[in-house]
Amino acid sequence: MDCSDAFLDDSRHRGDPLADELVQKIFANGSVDRVNELMRTLIHNDDLIPTSLPNEVEEYLATNLLPSNVDRARIERSEAFFQIWGLQISMCLFCASLPSAYAAADGVKVLFETARLQTDARRRVFESGQFLMDVMKSGGLAPGGDGIRTIQRVRLMHAAVRQLILHGGTWDTKRWGVPINQEDLAGTMLSFSYVPVEPMARLGIDVTPEDMGDYIYTWNVVAGMIGLRPELRPDDLEDAAALVAAIRRRHYRSSPEGAAMTAALVELLEELTPHLGRRRSGPAHVRGLGRLVPVVIRHLIGDETADLIAVPKARSRWLSVFAPLFTLIRLIESDIEHDEHVKRCIEPFARAVLVGAFACERGGIRASFAIPDTLARNWELSK
């Protein structure tokens, strides 16, 4: 895989021709107000409803479908893997993938601008979680599945965001590249495939190369449907690690936008988990140990990255509890017993986040964060 600066620099000036052409047609046939209306429709409705959108969208919905040559067996194995470890993957999405994305100083500018345009940090967190659920649920990528419809909607939303930001006149394309460019889109896709699964080792969970390969394959299928060029889709774990390392080398640095997005994320996660402990005035707090959410984020992404995005420092007493725990159970338990003990140790926090999201309105006219019934029952999120 080509991870050279020359190739990735070129990728920063490439968008998504299919979706961009569609949104440009909508823009040409009306005005920026028409694109804004498209954005509002995409944000406030979980389904794309052709009758409520411009006629140009109908052709897009008919063409941007799951490729006929996908390996269905690999996708189904990924769905089964998610059934087992989805709680932990979801926690890693919220506490590793999103914070890591905020450390990419150029890419986070688009997230920050998007929040100012149409939405907010709270909604973006829920939408990321919903995207994961829709794609990885059983049958999510089957014909007519929720995952396919969500991919179509998100791809169109990306193109609308590009047009609105470029139309605003303040975006420095020469310096930052096209909004939601190919390199940033590759980083986003890795945030759903490699980045949330890779730190599971820090939770004491062994993910086999086969499971990791199938999971990356499934998200490569998603990446193709969402407009990412084949050259930026990693073929295997080695390619994914190399591309993540290149993006981090090129873009990880502190920024006010990254710090602001991180602060909003930490605040939301603490709001979703008050029953884990809360002082009379202040965030989720465990007596004698301090705030829980920042220590989970720091444990998963490391202090160096956490410092770039201003994650609050963890109390030293957490270190005596958190880090040795998973090493200990790795040493004393068999593989089966180990998996069960790890799940019991980290599930309370992961479950608390999803239960909090499950019960929380995202705003606007959308329904609450929706977790498929089969997953909710499997993870004991519902009775």
Q: Summarize the confidence of residues 34-54 as an average pLDDT.
A: 60
- pLDDT band, very low/low/confident/very high, at 125 (cuts 50, 70, 90): confident
Q: What is the 3-state secondary structure (H, E, C) of the chain?
A: CCCCHHHHHHHCCCCCHHHHHHHHHHHHCCCHHHHHHHHHHHHHCCCCCHHHCCCHHHHHHHHCCCCCCCCHHHHHHHHHHHHHHHHHHHHHHHHHHHHHHHCECCHHHHHHHHHHHCCCHHHHHHHHHHHHHHHHCCCCCCCCCHHHHHHHHHHHHHHHHHHHHHHHCCCCHHHHCCCCCHHHHHHHHHHHCHHHHHHHHHHCCCCCHHHHHHHHHHHHHHHHHCCCCHHHCCCCHHHHHHHHHHHHHHHECCCHHHHHHHHHHHHHHHHHCHHHCECCCCCEEECCCEEHHHHHHHHHHCHHHHHHCCCCCCCHHHHHHHHHHHHHHHHHCCHHHHHHHHHHHHHHHHHHHHHHHHCCCCCCCCCCCCCCHHHHHHCCCCC
In the structure, what pLDDT confidence band is assigned to residue 169 with cuts at 50, 70 and 90?
Answer: confident
Task: Pick 64 or 106 by higher pLDDT.
Answer: 106
- pLDDT score of 36 more than 90: no
Q: Parse the chain into domains and list their residue ranges.
A: 5-378
Which is more confident, 26 or 361?
Answer: 26
> Which position has the higher pLDDT, 320 or 62?
62
Per-residue pLDDT at 110: 86
Percent of the chain with pLDDT over 90: 37
For the segment 281-340, what is each residue's pLDDT rounded down to a tens digit?
Answer: 555 454 444 577 888 888 889 899 999 999 988 665 544 555 554 454 444 444 444 444
pLDDT in tens, 341-377: 444 556 777 777 777 776 665 444 444 567 777 777 7
* pLDDT tens digits along 248-257: 999 999 999 9
pLDDT band at 242; cut points 50, 70, 90 = very high
What pTM does this model have? Answer: 0.82
